[in-house]
């Protein structure tokens, strides 16, 4: 795997999984700034209080412009809307990934919006809890969890080799079928 260096990350959807990823990024990359994007100020304030993120936004454009890494951690049904909003402002060389449990349609949509050979590499960490929300986020939620990474034949080799979630140092990356 290529070396991952995160200076600024944006997590869209800072619930249990997004919050846990934020904590893991903060631990692995102490100098990185982690931004959270959500729909409710109260949820974002909770994510800041629990140190999942440094800064909070209701709109993704501003933090995404600065981000090396963007993680979609909302319900899968919202991914297309988020990808359409962030694609025009993605920083050159930025990587976009997700934590969704389905891949074929997500990857098709991402390639259509971000372009084939673009910045998106799908992933699915096999982790979770019966709890939800940033109050239950932990730095070790992904420890030892399998993370299925789904590059396609269109994924740039450099992107396929630097799995964003494995870059947190918590999940073991396993490349899934490339034809998603």
What is the edge-to-edge ordering of all strands in the sheet holding 122-125?
A: 122-125, 146-150, 172-175
**What local confidence, expressed as pLDDT, does residue 133 receive?**
87
Q: The pTM is what? A: 0.87
Residue 178: per-residue pLDDT: 46
In angstroms, how far is the first alpha carbon of the chain from the final one?
20
Give Cα separations from 180 to 28, 63, 103, 104, 149 (angstroms): 30, 29, 6, 5, 10
- Let me know the angle formed at the C-alpha of 29 by 142 and 39, rounded to the nearest 5 degrees: 65
pLDDT digit string, tens, across residues 44-82: 999 999 999 999 999 999 999 999 899 999 999 999 999
pLDDT of the residue at 43: 93
How do residues 144-176 score in pLDDT, each as one tens digit?
777 777 777 767 655 655 555 555 655 555 555
pLDDT at 177: 44
């Amino acid at each position: 795997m290529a070396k991952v260096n995160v200076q600024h990350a944006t997590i869209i959807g800072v619930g249990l999984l997004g919050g846990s990823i934020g904590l893991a990024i903060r631990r692995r990359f102490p100098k990185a700034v982690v931004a959270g994007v959500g729909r409710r100020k109260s949820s974002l304030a909770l994510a800041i209080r629990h140190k999942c993120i440094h800064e909070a936004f209701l709109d993704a454009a501003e933090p995404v412009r600065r981000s090396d890494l963007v993680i979609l951690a909302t319900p899968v049904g919202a991914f297309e809307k988020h990808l359409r909003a962030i694609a025009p402002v993605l920083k050159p060389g930025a990587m976009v990934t997700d934590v969704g449990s389905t891949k074929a349609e997500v990857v098709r949509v991402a390639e259509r919006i971000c372009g084939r050979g673009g910045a998106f590499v799908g992933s699915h960490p096999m982790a979770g809890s019966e709890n939800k929300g940033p109050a239950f986020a932990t730095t070790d939620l992904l420890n030892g969890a399998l993370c299925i990474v789904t590059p396609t034949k269109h994924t740039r080799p450099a992107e396929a080799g630097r799995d964003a979630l494995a870059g947190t140092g918590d999940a073991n990356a396993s490349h899934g079928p490339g034809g998603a």
